[in-house]
Amino acid sequence: MENLSAKRFKRTFVDTFSGDDSGDLHPRQTPGVLYSKAVPTAVRKPELVAWSDELADSLDIAKPNPDDIQILGGNLITPTMYPYAACYAGHQFGNWAGQLGDGRAITLGEWENTHGNIWELQLKGAGPTAYSRRADGRAVLRSSVREYLMSEAMHYLGIPTTRALALVTTGDMVTRDMFYDGRAADEPGAIVMRTAPSFLRFGNFEMLAARNEIDNLTQLVNWTIERFYPHIEGDDKIFRWFGEVVERTATMIVEWLRVGFVHGVMNTDNMSVLGLTIDYGPYSFLDNYDPDFTPNTTDLPGKRYAFGKQANIAYWNLSRLANALVPLISDTSKLESQLRRYEDFYWSKYYAMMANKLGMDGINNEDDVRLLAEFENVLATVQPDMTMFYQLLIDLPSELNSQQDMLNFFKSSLYGDPEPTDITKLYSLMTSYQARLKVNTCTREDSLLRMRKANPRFILRNYLLHMAIEELQRGENHLFLKLQQALKDPYSKSHDEFFGMRPDWATQQAGCSMLSCSS
C-alpha cells in the first residue's frame, strides 16, 4: 500500500500525445492538442468526508495522511504528477456543441497497483481549466455527494462504471443557480477524486475528426486499442474495436434498464469508449415505472434522455462515434455493419436480463416475447414502484384467487389507486406470468435465485440523497454513513429501513424529483 503523496505516478497519456503545456487556465480553443495542463487551484481548508476503503484496497492505496488530503483538495501536486484537462467535443441534446473538454475535472496522473492494473486519478471540482468556458471549475457538496455515492452504488449493483475514491469539502463557498432561474445561492464547495482505467469519451474522437486532425485521430485510436483492447490486432482492428464498443455500450444500457437507472444527460461527451457509466449529474432511479421519465430539467419538454429512450439514444451516439472514425476507413460499409450489430446485441442481452428479473429460464419463443411486451405495457400504465414491484414479484403466490387478492398483494408498491381496467390488466398479466413459470425447465429455487440476483432491494433514491446532503450541510453525517454502507449490499434485506416507496413530500421537492445539469 502506498500513499498518494509518495507514489510515483505514470503519465503515459501526456507523454504520448500533443498537449498545451503552458498551464494557461483562460478559456480558449486548443486546436492540435489532446489536453491542456491545468494545475488545481488551492482551496482554504480541505477536510475528508468520505474514503472508499474497498476501492483503495484494490488499488493498493493507503489511507490518506495529511499530505494526501491536501492532494485530494487540489492544494498539493507531487513531482511525478502532471495535472491536465482533456480536450473533447460532443453532441449535446442532439446538437453539435463543438469543443467542450474537462471544464471541472483535472487528471493528476495514472496509478499502477501491484497487479499491473492502471487507473487514472482525477479531481472533479478542483478549479478552472482551459475548457471551463464561463464557469469556475468548482463543484458543490450537493453534486459531489451525488457523484461519490452513486458511482459506488452502481459498482455494487454490478453495473460498469467509473468509481469514486474520496470526497473532501474545501472550506470555500461556491455560488450556484441550481435551476438556472436567477436564484443563485452560495453552497459549500467539495471535490471528488474519481477513478477509471480511462475517461476517454466518444467526444475525444469527435473533436479530432471535426478538426480534421487525422494524424492525432489515428494515433488516439491505435493507442486506445493497444492499451484497453490489446487482444485486437490486424488490419481490421478498427472495425473490430468499434464493434466491441458497440457491444459494451449495449451491455451498459441493459444494465441501466435492469435497475431502473436514468442517466439524464446522455450527450456524446458523456459516453465512455470503455462502456462505463460516466459523469453523474441529473441522474435518478425510477420510483414509479414511467418510461417517459427524465430527471433533468434541461431535458424538458422533449425528454430526449427519458428512461425508455436510452437504448435508442445509445445507438444514435454510437453512430456519431462511427462518423468520427470514417476518415480512417476506406470501406465504411464495415463500420455500418458493426453499428447495425447494436440491435442484436441489445435485444439478446435485454431478453436475458428480463428473463432473470422474472425468474424465467429464457425468452424462448414469440409467446415469451409477447409476455415481456405485456409486462412493459402494464407497468407503464399502472406505474408501480419499480423496485418494490419486482421485490414483491419474487414472493408472488403460486395462485391468486381474485383481482382483489392480487391488488392487496401489490398494494405496497402502488402510488395511487389503479383504475378498474388497469387492475384487470395487471391481474391478467399475473395469470399469464404464473402459467409461464409452470413450464420453466429450471427449478423454482433456481428461478428465485435468478430473481434475487437481478432485482436490487436497495437503490439510492434521490430523496435519500437529498436528506443526506441536507444533513451534511448541517454538519451531520449519520444518514450519509448509513447509505454508504447500504449501497454495498443492495440485493439483501440487511438495510430494509430504506426499503420503501418515495414519500409524498419528495414528489415536488427540489433535488428529489427533478435536477439540473449543475446538480
Sign (positive/negative) of CA torsion 148, 149, 150, 152?
A: positive
**Which of 68, 269, 287, 385 does the annotation list as catalytic?**
269
Beta-carbon contacts of residue 459 (< 8 Å; ≥ 6 apart): 153, 259, 260, 285, 387, 490
* pLDDT band, very low/low/confident/very high, at 179 (cuts 50, 70, 90): low
Give the mean model confidence (pLDDT) for residues 153-179.
Answer: 94
* Surface-to-core class of residue 51, CB atoms within 10 Å of its CB (0-12 exposed, 13-18 middle, 19+ buried): buried
Distance of CA 507 to the CA centre of its chain: 23
| pLDDT given for residue 330 in this prediction | 87
Q: What is the pLDDT of residue 182?
A: 73
Q: Return mean pLDDT, the chain.
A: 96
Instruction: Locate 340 and state its grid cell.
Output: 447495425
**What pLDDT shows up at residue 519?**
45
pTM: 0.96
Task: Kindly report the backbone phi and psi dihedral angles of residue 476, in degrees, each rounded to the nearest multiple of 5, phi listed first.
Answer: -115, 150
279 labelled catalytic:
no
Please tell me the distance from the alpha carbon of residue 282 to that of residue 294, in angstroms, as a whole number. Answer: 9
**Cα angle value 107/101/106 (rounded, 5°):** 15
For residue 327, cis peptide bond before it (omega within 30 degrees of 0): no
Which pLDDT band, with edges at 50, 70 and 90, does 181 fall under? low
Tell me what the mean pLDDT of segment 476-501 comes to.
97
Q: What is the pLDDT of residues 32-88, one digit of tens each?
A: 999 999 999 999 999 999 999 999 999 999 999 999 999 999 999 999 999 999 999
Q: Is residue 89's pLDDT more than 80?
A: yes
Do the beta carbons of residue 35 and residue 83 sit within 8 Å? Answer: no
Amino acid at 125: G
**pLDDT tens column, 372-396:** 999 999 999 999 999 999 999 999 9
Are the C-beta atoms of 71 and 5 separated by less than 8 Å?
Answer: yes
pLDDT digits (tens, 9 = 90+) for 131-150: 999 999 999 999 999 999 99
Assess whether pLDDT exceeds 60 at residue 518.
Answer: no
Distances (CA, A) of 6 to 42, 46, 58, 83, 402: 20, 19, 18, 16, 68
* Mean pLDDT on 442-461: 97
Q: What is the C-alpha separation between 464 and 469, in angstroms, rounded? A: 9
Contact 100, 88 (CB under 8 A): yes
Residues in the chain: 519
- Say yes or no to pLDDT of 371 above 50: yes
Q: CA-CA distance, 149 to 139, in Å (whole number)?
A: 15
pLDDT of residue 201: 98
Is the pLDDT assigned to residue 344 strictly greater than 70? yes
In the chain, % helix, strand, coil (3-state, to 5) comes to: 45, 15, 40
Region of poorest pLDDT, from 142-151, 179-188, 221-230, 496-505: 179-188
Work out the pLDDT band at 400, boundaries 50, 70, 90. confident
Q: For residue range 310-324, list pLDDT tens digits in order.
A: 999 999 999 999 999
Residue 287: pLDDT band with limits 50, 70, 90: very high
CA gyration radius for the chain?
24
- In the predicted model, what is the mean pLDDT of residues 480-509? 95
Residue 462 pLDDT greater than 80, yes or no: yes
